Structure formats: C-alpha cells, structure tokens
Amino acid sequence: MARLNVNPTRMEMKRLQSRLKTATRGHKLLKDKTDEMVRRFISIAQQNKRLREEVEQDLANAMGSFAQARTQADSRIVDEAICMPSRSVTLQCSKRKVMGIDVPQIEISDTSTQLYPYSFLSVTSRLDDSVRGLNSVLAKLIRLAEVEKTCNMLADEIERNKRRVNALENIMIPQLTETIRYIKMKLDESERSATVRLMKVKDIINN
C-alpha cells in the first residue's frame, strides 16, 4: 500500500494518528449503519414482494370478472356502463425518515359515495365484482408504489455506504497505518543516529 507523502515529524505523526482514529471510528459507524440498513431493506423488500403478489392477484381477479362480464352481456353496453368514472381520490405526498433517508409517504383520501357508475339492470354481477375489485386494489397500488420507491432509495444508499466503507477499509486506513509506521521508523533511525553521535562525542572528550 502506497504511503502518504508527508514529512516524517512527530507533529505529523500525531496528526495522522488522530486521522486514523477518526477514520477507524467512522468505518465502524458506517459499517454498523450499512448492516442495519440491509436488515431494514430485507424487511421492506419482503413487504414489497407480498404487496406485489396481492396486487397482481387482485388485478387478475378483477380483469377476469370484467372479461366474463363482457361475454355475458353486450360488450358495447358494458363499455358504455363504465365509460364515465364515478370515483375520484386525492393523494397527499410527504416524506418520512428511514435510516436518515427521506422516503415518500403517500396518503389517499376518497370522498366518493357512489361506487358503481351504471344501472344494475343493464349489466351482470360480474361487472360489479370487477369494479369492486379494481376499487379495492387502488389503495394497495399506492402503497406498493411507496414501498418500491423506498426499496430503491435504500438500495442506492446501501451501495453508496458500501463504497465509503470499502474506501476507508482498503485505501485510507491502510495508507494512514503505513505512513505512521514509516514516520516511526524514520524517527527511530534519527534517535539512533543521535545516540551514536553523542557516544562518539563522549568518547572523543574522554580521550
């Protein structure tokens, strides 16, 4: 590992020792944070998987009911029955903290009172099942979008933290350690040289 280009002095060694202590502590904190973020990510990813499976199943059921409704009645009547939506929702987007990261938080509010935008006489109950299923899956879709975005943001932050940990572990800390070792070696050599000179001076004086 290449050492830093510094003057081998005691003052420089103390400064580097302080940097090494800070880097070692930062490495531990970052590694602990990354481990906790990975744990949280796995938990949220499992939640995301469960939500996605539920949404896909609910959508498949709703679309299956819709397909049956179109086969049991005139497709033009079915299309006309649902062409005017009767429900509107409002989304409020905010932020919350997860491991120091601002992740989205979406709240849905529904003020609609009418679920079915058509007369029950013109269509079959399978269309009712489809409309009811699509309406019930809306909240899950919003929640799924929120959870997936949180997963993506956590994954990006975990990757950034891993790069920082690797930089400290494989570059900065070894460089500082090697440089401190080099300075100590140089200082020891200087002390030995000074001791030898003093001994020679003493011998000359005594002779």
Please report the pLDDT score of residue 84 as a whole number: 64
What do you get for the CA distance between the two ends of the chain, in Å?
A: 49
Express each pLDDT in 132-163 by its tens digit.
777 888 888 889 999 999 999 999 999 999 99
Q: Which domains, from first to last, does the chain contain? A: 10-200 (1.10.287.3240)
pLDDT value at position 67? 79
**Higher pLDDT pick, 191 / 157:** 157
Q: Would you say residue 127 has pLDDT above 80?
A: no
As given in the structure block, the two tokens for residue 34 are: 């990354």
How many angstroms separate the CA atoms of 139 and 133, rounded? 11
CB 16 within 8 A of CB 6: yes
Mean pLDDT score of the chain, rounded to an integer?
84
The two tokens of residue 126 are 């399978």
Look up residue 63 and give its DSSP letter.
Answer: H
52 forms beta bridges with none
pLDDT-wise least confident of 96-110, 121-135, 153-167: 121-135
State residue 207's pLDDT score.
66
- Cα–Cα distance, 82 to 84 (Å, whole number): 6
Is the pTM higher than 0.75? no
The phi-psi region of residue 100 (left if phi > 0; otherwise alpha if psi is between -120 and 50; otherwise beta) is left
